[in-house]
Chain A
């Protein structure tokens, strides 16, 4: 079956602009996660959804970052007034459920470059 997909694969924007990054999880997966991976580092947690609600948004760096999952499937990560420090690969993952061992399946990521 289809894996996690993310669009666009690459996004170049100018400082101060607004961007939206989309994630399509594996069908039937109730949990969805966003991570950010800066160059040469491991992924860092941003937010995770259980169904439609954000169950934990403690990793969002500031109020310029926001994410939604209105129908419990596709999610959009929104970044306002982008800054050069926002440049990174944004990874989305989904899992069938939560708790214990629930393998998170990762998408290919969106590489965001803020000029």
Chain B
């Protein structure tokens, strides 16, 4: 079974609108962390936001917030007030701290395109 599933291969959003990128995960490890990375066309992976499995509140970082629903095993990324520079690939990733050490397992990604 896929450990990280991103069901939206591509998404369009109008500039200045909010957009939600979906991520569901599968793990039996009680201790895990969820990450979102942005990968522009230049190729570098840029860390956006992190949510720990024991964190009580949803993580927020500027225009990025993580809608963490533990019972549903989902960790959706919400980008508010989209900008043209947000156009990129977005990857959800998980670290299973007890079962898998320190490696990150990535989903297949979602390509976000911001329309002017």
Contact = CB atoms under 8 A, between A and B. Distances in A.
Given A100-B97, A109-B43, 17 more contacts: A41-B108, A42-B91, A42-B93, A43-B91, A44-B106, A45-B103, A55-B101, A91-B45, A93-B45, A99-B97, A100-B52, A101-B50, A103-B50, A104-B47, A106-B37, A107-B44, A108-B44
Contacts of B4: 42
Nearest to B45: A106
A66 interface: no
Interface residues of B, number: 23
Closest 3 A-B residue pairs measured CB to CB?
A42-B106, A106-B45, A45-B103
A31 B45 contact: no
B104 interface: yes
Interface residues of A, number: 30
Interface of A: 31, 33, 35, 40-45, 48, 50, 55-56, 59, 89, 91, 93, 95, 98-109
Nearest to B106: A42
Contact of B107 (A42, A99, A105, A109): A42
Contacts of A40: 108
B19 to A, nearest CB: 19
A105 B4 CA distance: 20
A102 B103 CA distance: 11
A55 B52 CA distance: 23
